[in-house]
Amino acid sequence: MIADQSTWESGEYLQAIRYHASDALIDAEGSLYQILNTANGEVSLQRLNKKASLQAVIEMVRAHAAELGACCVAKFSATSIQEAISSIANSADV
């Protein structure tokens, strides 16, 4: 989980990843950002005029938890997008 834009910009390990064109970043309010790889190798974010639904974010968190080998991921639920995203920081919640 990335706390804010300055954390994103200073996170060298995040900038070193080569992102796929279909990758996106979702903020705690559900706003979607396209992750762009620039010609000079830097990464930038472009805010899209789209929001993820709570159900879509829950499904993404479930998929992420399943990839990490968590059990009972189908039982995961959240009452807000912020809660769902915050749960990633503490995988014991998933």
Residues 59 and 84 in one domain: yes
Residues 65 and 88 in one domain: yes
Residues 82 and 71 in one domain: yes
Residues 47 and 9 in one domain: yes
Residues 32 and 63 in one domain: no
Residues 63 and 76 in one domain: yes
Amino acid sitting at position 12: E
Residues 47 and 60 in one domain: no
Residues 42 and 69 in one domain: no
Residues 47, 5 contacting (CB under 8 angstroms): no
Domain of 68 in residue numbering reads as 54-93
Residues 42 and 58 in one domain: no
Taking each helix axis from N to C terminus, what angle separates 54-67 and 81-89, rounded to the nearest 10 degrees?
Answer: 20
Residues 67 and 30 in one domain: no
| pLDDT one-digit tens code per residue, 17-74 | 777 778 888 888 899 999 888 788 778 889 999 999 999 999 999 998 898 888 889 9
Which pair of tokens denotes residue 55?
A: 């159900």
**What pLDDT, on a 0 to 100 scale, did the predictor assign at position 32?**
93
Q: For the chain, how many structural domains are there in total?
A: 2
Nearest-angstrom CA–CA distance, 88 and 94: 7
**What pLDDT, on a 0 to 100 scale, did the predictor assign at position 1?**
63
pLDDT at 93 over 50: no
Residues 27 and 63 in one domain: no
